[in-house]
Amino acid sequence: MPITDLLERNNKLYGNEVALVEINPEIREEQRVTWKEYELIQPTSTAYYRRQITWSVFDEKANRVANMLLERGISRGQKCAILLMNCLEWLPIYFGILKAGAIAVPLNFRFTADEIDYCLQAADADVLFYGPEFIGRIEDIANKLKNNMLLYFVGDACPSYTEDYYRQASNSSSSVPRILVEDTDDAAIYFSSGTTGFPKAILLKHSALSQSARMEAIHHQTTKNDNFLCIPPLYHTGAKMHWFGSLYTGSRAVILKGNSPQAIFHAVSTEGCTIVWLLVPWAQDILAALDRGDLKIEDYQLSQWRLMHIGAQPVPPSLIKRWMAYFPNHQYDTNYGLSESTGPGCVHLGLGNVHKVGAIGVPGYGWKVKIVDEKNEPVPEGEVGELCVKGPGVMVEYYKNPEATAEILENGWLHTGDMARRDEDGFIFLVDRKKDVIISGGENLYPVQIESFLAAHNKIHDVAVIGLPDPRLGEIAAAIIQVKEGETLTEEEVNRFCLDLPRYKRPRKLIFADVIRNATGKIDKPKLREIYCGERLVEKQNKS
């Protein structure tokens, strides 16, 4: 079924039950305004800004968006972009676009004006929904936008050159639009994270979205009684497709605007959240706050929290070991995926496999996996090759980019660009991005392996390893080390710790600085290389 059918089903079955809650710890009660028919609820234990909608209101608002677009001449297959911070309006707008038979185009809210312009053009967008945070960026590219592009402003004090989303939607019909949406229809264009270059436009079908919803519910044993805490940005497939498990089961979800350890624990406690998806930096921050005593488990109601899972990047085993020491009863999973595979889950660890932490897991529900060499031949067990996946979530194409599509799609197999190996039990271990492999003196160094080793040091908060040019070896491994708050760490200590690594894997440069990550928590290695490959480093070269 198309993904929109799940929303309509939930309206029929659970119409009066809460579907979505929005919490913003940065807005206090005295700053509140009534936001256009969304129900504001004041919890007894907090003054945080909080709104909620039921499944009935969710579906009704999606219908209004769809009818609003149809009334303005938007037809099947036209592209409608969304440039919003996480908010309660986000998902009804997304589903309204889909109900109109149009294609949703979520945009990264960290994009610059030029990147927004690039993505709107790459996707052939005819409509843009945007929030108050982006007025300046939209004004900067106003002369580049299509002459007939529809702009809908989602906020108060609507600019004169833009349609008022709230007013226009409220004046449109709440009836189900008379548009037949099918599994085989194109549904969405997502943009790659851009860690290997400028973002590419990834075209997905309704069938891929629906399969990801079913897969998420199966992988994490999601039930009607679960409550999912969604923190990452909704423009990304990771957050959206994990929430799809809630959509599939008709269960509640909480959208948290903020990722501090206190805000996360508060939301879990007051809202009764049972499933939380964290990025590695947020898990690190929680553990650091617990270690320092700034955060105390006994101050919160957390007993209902059953599952913590992580995705979007390799997970240091040492992090999970520390997590389980604080939360021994938690289920744990890690999910691997790409926007090109409709987000997370084409490979996943599985709830009962904590003993395999460090692996990304086994093929997900409905997926096949192979690991191949440069000649596209399967490699023997234990050897490193490129990870390829095949399944119902593989993208249609890079939109209007057949050359780039041909580079990674072959007979239905998606070449991920990630290097991996499979152990004797069939579990897959991610070694590194193909493009991040460091070739030093003829040896292949995989930064993820070195990062995982260094992350076990009790004074290291975060670490990234990149290759730096070297006249003799071609490249050397450099470790950017972010030290835990309140700790001091010397090169000598790190070098001594690294004696347990094979000599050729030991980083030859140590750089004590913050590790830069993008909005989805991935280490931004292109930015780190840009910063450090062009600078003369004063850090002492590791001679050990």
Sort 450 into a burial class: Cβ within 10 Å, 0-12 / 13-18 / 19+.
buried
Distance of CA 393 to the CA centre of its chain: 16
What are the sequence ranges of the domains in the chain?
A: 443-532
Q: How large is the average pLDDT for residues 78-99? A: 97
Share of the chain above pLDDT 90, in %: 65
Sign, CA dihedral 201-162-93-307, equals positive
Does position 32 have pLDDT exceeding 70, yes or no? Answer: no
pLDDT recorded at residue 264: 95
pLDDT recorded at residue 195: 45
pLDDT recorded at residue 43: 45
Whose tokens are 């028919």? That residue is: 37
**pTM of the predicted structure, to 2 decimals:** 0.82
Tens digits of residue pLDDT in 10-24: 999 999 999 999 998
Whose tokens are 């399967």? That residue is: 378
Q: How large is the average pLDDT for residues 146-162? A: 92
Does position 514 have pLDDT exceeding 60, yes or no? Answer: yes
Give the DSSP letter of residue 305. -
Does position 534 have pLDDT exceeding 90, yes or no? Answer: no
Task: Identify the band that residue 417 occupies on the pLDDT scale cut at 50, 70 and 90.
Answer: confident
Share of the chain above pLDDT 70, in %: 90
pLDDT recorded at residue 90: 96
Rounded to the nearest integer, the mean pLDDT of the chain is 88
Task: Identify the band that residue 38 occupies on the pLDDT scale cut at 50, 70 and 90.
Answer: low
Q: What gap in Å lies between CA 304 and CA 307, rounded to an integer? A: 9
pLDDT recorded at residue 202: 96
Tens digits of residue pLDDT in 296-351: 999 999 999 999 998 766 677 888 999 999 999 999 999 888 899 998 899 999 99
Does position 238 have pLDDT exceeding 90, yes or no? Answer: no
Among 88-97, 317-326, 392-401, name the one with the lowest average pLDDT. Answer: 317-326
Sign, CA dihedral 68-70-76-80, equals negative
Tens digits of residue pLDDT in 461-512: 999 998 888 776 778 889 999 999 889 999 999 999 999 887 878 999 999 9
Domain 443-532: top CATH class: alpha beta
Encoded tokens for 406 = 């041909």
Q: How large is the average pLDDT for residues 182-193? A: 91
Task: Identify whether the C-beta of residue 506 lies closer than 8 Å to the C-beta of residue 469.
Answer: no
Tens digits of residue pLDDT in 267-282: 999 999 999 999 887 8
Does position 535 have pLDDT exceeding 60, yes or no? Answer: no
The CA radius of gyration of the chain, in Å to the nearest whole number, is 23
